[in-house]
Amino acid sequence: MIVQFKPSALGQTRWYEYLVRFVLGGAMTVVTGLIAARFGPVIGGLFLAFPAIFPASATLIEKHVRERKEKAGLPGGRRGKEAAALDAVGAALGSFGLAAFGLVIWLMIVQSPASALVLAAASWLAVAMLAWQVRRWL
Amino acid sequence: MLEYSLRFLAGGIAVSAFAALGDTLRPKSFAGLFGAAPSIALATLLITLSQKDAQFVGLEGRSMIVGAFALAVYSWTVCVLLKKFLQSSWTATMVALIVWFAVALGASAALFQLS
């Protein structure tokens, strides 16, 4: 299975759906800052991995797949749920990458903040892709 | 106020960018990796670094590992609710938030005693 890049898929998302993601993402970042300021970094850090926009994304995926199938005259309910479930599997695998991101930040940020952020982002991508590849092999 | 406006803008841009990238990728399971992208973390940590010391950010990173574990359990729960119990995406992702909170706060309390 080859990973494909399809820029045309961006056209399926409506403007208000982009707006919802932007507002949810912005709001969650503000809330995370408020939680860290009120309860400290131990609790605040947990919310850096909060599934803030996952509900909106999964709902959009289910809706888009269902609409596409129904347009083709096929029942789309179950296919929509399956597509959203696959997205959830990906998010579960991506969580390993997110843990690697946090680990690098924890171990390196005091010594070299800029390098730590770059290495953490690279670690997220590498570990997430490795986890996805390992799942394919199993 | 300016700080929180900046947070809102940076978080909105980062989340939208990762989500749009995920939209363009196939298969769906690979695109899903971007559902666990460090979008909020990148936006938050950069701003926090400009205001607090690096040790504060380091502690956030340590907690983020626990949060990521909770996210993995959450995502797996969503998958089960969708495939086995045929719930709608909205219901599955909302109900599973209980799991995220339970795992994140429970594990954090056990490991760090919520210090």
Within an 8 Å CB–CB cutoff, is residue A42 touching chain B? yes
Burial of B78 (0-12, 13-18, 19+ CB in 10 A): buried
- Across the range A57-63, mean pLDDT stands at 89
Shortest Cα distance, chain B CAs vs residue A68, angstroms: 15
Dihedral-angle region of residue A13 (phi above 0 means left; psi in -120 to 50 means alpha; beta otherwise):
beta
* DSSP secondary structure of chain A: ---EE-GGGGGGS-HHHHHHHHHHHHHHHHHHHHHHHHH-HHHHHHGGG--SSHHHHHHHHHHHHHHHHHHTTS--HHHHHHHHHHHHHHHHHHHHHHHHHHHHHHHHTTT-HHHHHHHHHHHHHHHHHHHHHHHHH-
CA distance to A40, A78, A137, A138, B60, per residue, from B14 (Å): 23, 31, 31, 33, 19
- Whether ipTM > 0.90 holds is yes
What is the structure's pLDDT at A75?
77
CB contact under 8 A, B100 and A109: no
The tens digit of pLDDT for each residue in A61-87 reads 898 889 888 888 887 778 899 999 999
Shortest Cα distance, chain B CAs vs residue A39, angstroms: 9
Q: Would you say residue A37 has pLDDT above 80?
A: yes
Number of Cβ pairs < 8 A linking chain A and chain B = 333
The tens digit of pLDDT for each residue in B26-82 reads 898 899 999 899 999 998 998 999 888 999 999 999 999 999 999 999 999 999 999
Burial A20-51 (b: 16+ CB within 10 A, else e): bbbbbbbbbbbbbbebbeeebbbbbbbbbbbb
Within an 8 Å CB–CB cutoff, is residue A79 touching chain B? no
CB contact under 8 A, B67 and A30: no
Within an 8 Å CB–CB cutoff, is residue A78 touching chain B? yes
Q: With contacts defined as CB-CB under 8 Å, which chain B residues touch A99? A: 64-65, 68-69
| Chain A nearest-CA residue for B15 | A25
CB contact under 8 A, B10 and A29: yes
Q: Which has the higher per-residue pLDDT, A77 or B85?
A: B85
In chain A, what percentage of residues exceed pLDDT 90? 66
- pTM equals 0.93
Instruction: Name residue, tokens 């399926």.
Output: A12
Burial B32-55 (b: 16+ CB within 10 A, else e): bbbbbbbbbbbbbbbbbbeeeebe
